[in-house]
Amino acid sequence: MTSEIVKEAAGIQTVDAKTEVTGGELVVDALRSLGIRQIFGVPGGQTLAINDAVYDRDDISFITTRHEGAAAVMADAVGRLSGQPGVCLATTGPGATNLLTGVGGAMRDSSPVIVITCNNRLPDLGRDDAQSADHLALFRPLTKWVLQVADTRAIPRAIHEAAIRATSGLPGPVLLDFERSALESKVPVGDVDFPFTGKAITRQVPGARTLADPAIVASIADEVLAAKRPLLWIGNGVQLSGAETAVLELAEALNAPVITTFNSIGAVESGHPHVFGPLSRMGTAISREAIEDADLVLAIGNSLNAVSTSRWQLKLQKVIQIDTDAANTGVHYPKITTAVTGDARSVVLQLTSELGARSGLADAHRSRKEWMDSLRESKRTFWEAVEKEDTAATPMSPIALTAALRAATPDDAIIAVDAGNPGVWSHMWEARKQGRYIKPVGFGNMGFALPGAIAAKTIEPTRPVIAWLGDGSLGMTMGELETVVREGLSICIVVMNDQGYGNIRQEELHYHGERYNGVDFVETDYAAVARGFGIAAFRVDSARQLRDAVRTVLSSGKAGLIDARIDPDVSVWTHPLLTGKA
């Protein structure tokens, strides 16, 4: 049920007025007033006041997961795709600690999440109660903000503040730790003040854009015009700011290439003539060639962190770094970096305008033609090599798998990619629509793709959704196959099966020769496992079979799992299409 308080909140379901309301009902009312429609989690005794408040409502649902870690990932995926805070919930102690890995992924990749933990009753805190844990201490290093809520009347204000903190500035997760007594107590309706208007709170970055100092913009315009081979390396800040179009317009004005971090795959379309793919600790041969040739890198919304720069071993000649967070700029390459603090879209538009007024822009544009032509030839040669991969070979190469999956996937599909080999080979994913690719980058937390795909399908039910993961990550989230069935979600699950933690195995081989251990699994038929959950499943050995199976699953309108047997000897550490070394 919902209280009379929220009758004025636009679009919120209302029922007969009540004279009293529980703290659990206030939590649900407050979340719904923000436009939130799903809570992901595992119930426990301490959460029941919230679960009971959801029971009689059809405008918000509780989606039970088989592990709290999956709930945190689902909330993260909602934040990444919608900009609105995803919400995950767990009981005290082990329930809360199980959330931590997924919350860390949201923190490192700037995804807005409201984490709700439900603690013991106020009189029992600190008295060795069951499952007791200090949630604030546990979550503080992996969140933007933590708050313990002990007063029922304070619940609406606490949730409102949590949503603002999660979405403003650099987005990220926040924690609300509710004492059970605050959730179960009742208060008179008239004693509660809701600070809501009924309007959903989403990312606040576009609402408060920060301009750069005009003198600094004029100075960096001089540097960009003087550069022979400037390159734009865009990060997640471009997507958070909505700067995708502005970046491409700047690249066209300068006649300069664009590459992306992993976190901004899909920010710009791969087929654009100025786009040359992603780069992180690994990349494609073409993105690596572009950045190695560049004499000036414009790092836009790009923190230049360890993942992107191979722990700062990447050699750069000169950097202009544009970031909304002054603490991120000029930190990692201080001797060669000009730091510019400001919103990515605003500063890019300022720079484009400044350059447009310069008489030397046309000459600079022409001077880069030979370099751009050379990069485009390398790009053409790269994709020709990909197309030559044998689609009938068994077991299939990861390159052939990636190309076949791309060929069978509609352009408007959302693809949730896991850490490990799927993530690395997704360097070769052709992004044809903006904002359709999600992957754990900064934290690299395995077990992301399946829960991420579940969340994507709950908020985008009409859009095709692909979960692309390895057999290692499937082992960590296999219980969520039951969630897929229970929720009736039509997800296509593609499992790269190399019978082990394949990426780590290849790294061991690369650095230690024929010495590796702890990475091999027994032979497992994941298609048979999926059928045990009631999911249609296929076992394929070639890329051609994979392509046909993906199309079959997507056209069925039901969930399907494809156990794809890949060649474990094709290594991301040595393949020339990634290293550029034949």
Residue 189 pLDDT: 85
CATH architecture, domain defined by 4-204:
3-Layer(aba) Sandwich (3.40)
pLDDT at 78 over 90: yes
How high is the mean pLDDT of the chain?
Answer: 90
pLDDT in tens, 236-272: 999 999 999 999 999 999 999 999 998 899 999 999 9
Of 156-170, 323-337, 480-494, 529-543, which gets the smallest average pLDDT? 323-337
Q: Quick one: tokens of 341?
A: 């603090």
pLDDT digits 0-9 by tens, 333-353: 999 999 999 999 999 999 999
- pLDDT at position 196: 59
CA–CA distance, 570 with 473 (Å, rounded to integer): 19
Higher pLDDT, 132 or 555: 555
Model confidence band, residue 14 (pLDDT cutoffs 50, 70, 90):
very low
Question: Phi first, then psi: what are they for 147, rounded to 5°?
Answer: -150, 135
**Is residue 283 pLDDT above 90, yes or no?**
no
SS (HEC) of 342-385: CCHHHHHHHHHHHHHCCCCHHHHHHHCHHHHHHHHHHHHHHHHH
Question: What is the model's pLDDT at position 197?
Answer: 52
**Measured between alpha carbons, how far is 90 from 113 in angstroms, rounded to an integer?**
14
* pLDDT grade for 86, boundaries at 50, 70 and 90: very high
With beta carbons less than 8 A apart as the criterion, state whether 70 and 188 touch. no
How much is the pLDDT for 5? 44
The reply to whether 389-579 shares the fold of 4-204 is yes
User: For 56-90, where are the alpha helices, taking DSSP H only?
Assistant: 68-82
pLDDT of residue 8: 45
- Residues 350-376, mean pLDDT to the nearest whole number: 95
Tokens of 426: 């997704």
97-119 pLDDT per residue, tens: 999 999 999 999 999 999 999 99
For residue 11, what pLDDT is reported? 43
Please choose, from the candidates 111, 401, 477, the residue with its C-alpha nearest in 3D space to the C-alpha of residue 263: 111
Domain locations in the chain as residue ranges? 4-204, 209-377, 389-579
Cα separation of 31 and 114, whole Å? Answer: 10
The length of the chain is 582
CATH superfamily, region 389-579: Thiamin diphosphate (ThDP)-binding fold, Pyr/PP domains (3.40.50.970)
Whether the predicted pLDDT of 13 surpasses 70: no
Asked if the model's pLDDT at residue 296 lies above 50, the reply is yes
Contacts of residue 395, Cβ cutoff 8 Å, sequence gap at least 6 = 541, 542, 565, 566, 567
Give the pLDDT score at 113.
98
User: In percent, how much of the chain has pLDDT > 90?
Assistant: 73
- Give the model confidence (pLDDT) of 400-451 as tens digits: 999 999 999 999 999 999 999 999 899 889 888 776 899 999 898 999 999 9
Confidence class for position 208, pLDDT limits 50, 70, 90: low
Per-residue pLDDT band for 3 (boundaries 50, 70, 90) equals very low
* Closest among 489, 488, 486, 493 to 530, alpha carbons compared: 493
Residue corresponding to tokens 């540097």: 223
C-beta of residue 415 within 8 angstroms of C-beta of residue 431: no
Residue from 157, 153, 149, 156 nearest 179 by CA: 149
Residue 312 carries which DSSP code?
T
pLDDT at 582: 56
Q: For 36-149, list the strands marked E by DSSP.
A: 38-41, 61-64, 86-91, 113-119, 145-149
What pLDDT, on the 0 to 100 scale, is given for residue 190?
A: 81
Using DSSP, state whether 386 is helix, strand or coil. helix
Residue 359 neighbours by CB under 8 Å, 6+ apart: none
Q: CATH fold of 209-377, please?
A: Rossmann fold (3.40.50)
